[in-house]
Amino acid sequence: DTENGLQDYEGHKILQHISDPIIFFGSIARSELKKCEDYNVGRAITEATDAELRAHFSTYIGNGLVVAVLGFGKIGSAAAQCAAQKTRRVIVVEIDRLRLSLAAAQSFEIMNLDQALECADVVISCTG
């Protein structure tokens, strides 16, 4: 179950229309498995972007391109980390102050959206 699905269950929005009893065992939304999945999705987004650049534009992230990652949640942070392994300049755009602090603590360049779009060669959106 996703986080939104879990919140629906917890709020009983879904259950109000079901007449048979349901046994709820739990959700992957907050499990260790979900953390691995989010990390792998973030990396896969960056790798797929790199593959598209190679296939269609004869370039790649490691060719000195500036990458902006929009969103620094579980998936966005993994995408930014993967991009940072390929190029030296990764910009993070995030509206949540705690996530912004985490990005800065990991030495990512922080910008607002307009600044990032002006500087970036590649934009990876990982917003919820």
Q: Give the pLDDT confidence score for residue 1 in this predicted structure.
A: 44
Q: Which residues contact 49 (CB under 8 A, 6 or more apart)?
A: 61, 122, 124
CB distance 95 to 77 below 8 Å = no
Q: Which residues contact 69 (CB under 8 A, 6 or more apart)?
A: 76, 79, 80, 83, 90, 91, 92, 93, 108, 124, 126
User: Residue 20: pLDDT band by 50, 70, 90 thresholds?
Assistant: low
**pTM (predicted TM-score):** 0.78
Looking at the predicted structure, is the pLDDT value of residue 65 above 80? yes
Q: Give the pLDDT confidence score for residue 128 in this predicted structure.
A: 76
Region 114-125: mean pLDDT is 97
Least confident of 35-39, 49-53, 58-62: 35-39
